[in-house]
């Protein structure tokens, strides 16, 4: 069955990537949560999509100097309860960071937090920085993230060759044939960010493994319709 992952939690009432948004995802009954992880200047792993928050560059700031609403990865994992958590690891200039952190070191730090939280069995990793994705392979299943304009077909071959577990492409780059091609190579497909009913229906019909959405309640409702779940 196609899973529904709440993109940065359920944030229609709470701020995205906040503990309240993750708790709301648990209450709604989604299958998983997608969240973003960055490392602060003093080595803390915090959950925030943008490289700057509250006027501060996260990579250049101590954890104590960041706004109170920015949770640590450990706190976020706890707030997500038993849900699957897709931990997107931000790294490198392409992610808006002023510097690129050593991939192996960052992967080890993320894995250590997940292990201490006892969450290894419910965490799946992803990254636009594929060197970081490869460094995470020994920590659990890892997906290569794709951006708009990326060649999904080429990415499938690269992901399979690197031993990744799947790819996370944007909706605009995906179609039924590419989903089928990924599955023949043993790769999962998690499509982002799918919000409209017609697009949700398309992804369900294609048999993607997970829909990453800002509208999780709508996605759950579309999936529950007769014929809504096709895998």
Q: Which residues contact 153 (CB under 8 A, 6 or more apart)?
A: 178, 181
* DSSP character at residue 192: B
Given a contact cutoff of 8 angstroms between Cβ atoms, the answer to whether 204 and 196 are in contact is no
Q: How far apart are CA 77 and CA 52, in angstroms?
A: 22
The pLDDT value recorded for residue 231 is: 40
The pLDDT value recorded for residue 93 is: 75
pTM value is 0.96
Q: Across residues 9-17, what is the average pLDDT? A: 96
pLDDT, the chain, mean: 95
Domain ranges of the chain: 3-35+83-224
Fold assignment, 3-35+83-224: TIM Barrel (3.20.20)
Q: Indicate whether 230 pLDDT > 70.
A: no
The pLDDT value recorded for residue 228 is: 58
Least confident of 51-65, 71-85, 88-102: 88-102
| Per-residue pLDDT reduced to its tens digit, 134-170 | 999 999 999 999 999 999 999 999 999 999 999 999 9
Q: Please, what's the b/e burial string for 22-39 (b: 16 or more CB within 10 A of its CB; e: otherwise)? A: bbbbbeeebbbbbbbbbb
């Amino acid at each position: 069955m196609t899973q529904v992952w709440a993109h940065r939690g359920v944030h229609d009432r709470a701020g995205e990537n906040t503990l309240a948004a993750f708790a709301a995802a648990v209450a709604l009954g989604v299958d998983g949560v997608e969240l973003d992880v960055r490392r602060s200047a003093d080595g803390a792993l915090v959950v925030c999509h943008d490289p700057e928050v509250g006027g501060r560059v996260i990579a250049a700031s101590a954890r104590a100097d960041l706004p109170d609403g920015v949770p640590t990865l450990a706190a976020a994992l706890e707030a997500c309860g038993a849900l699957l958590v897709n931990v997107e690891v931000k790294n490198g200039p392409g992610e808006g960071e002023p510097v690129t952190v050593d991939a192996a070191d960052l992967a080890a730090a993320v894995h250590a937090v997940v292990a201490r939280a006892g969450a290894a069995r419910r965490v799946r990793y992803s990254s636009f920085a594929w060197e970081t994705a490869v460094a995470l392979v020994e920590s659990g299943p890892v997906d290569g993230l794709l951006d708009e304009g990326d060649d999904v077909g080429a990415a499938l071959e690269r992901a399979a060759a690197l031993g990744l577990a799947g790819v996370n492409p944007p909706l605009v780059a995906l179609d039924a044939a590419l989903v089928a091609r990924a599955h023949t190579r043993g790769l999962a497909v998690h499509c982002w960010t799918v919000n409209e009913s017609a697009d949700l229906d398309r992804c369900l019909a294609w048999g993607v493994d997970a829909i990453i959405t800002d509208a999780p309640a709508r996605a759950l409702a579309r999936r529950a319709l007769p014929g809504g779940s096709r895998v």
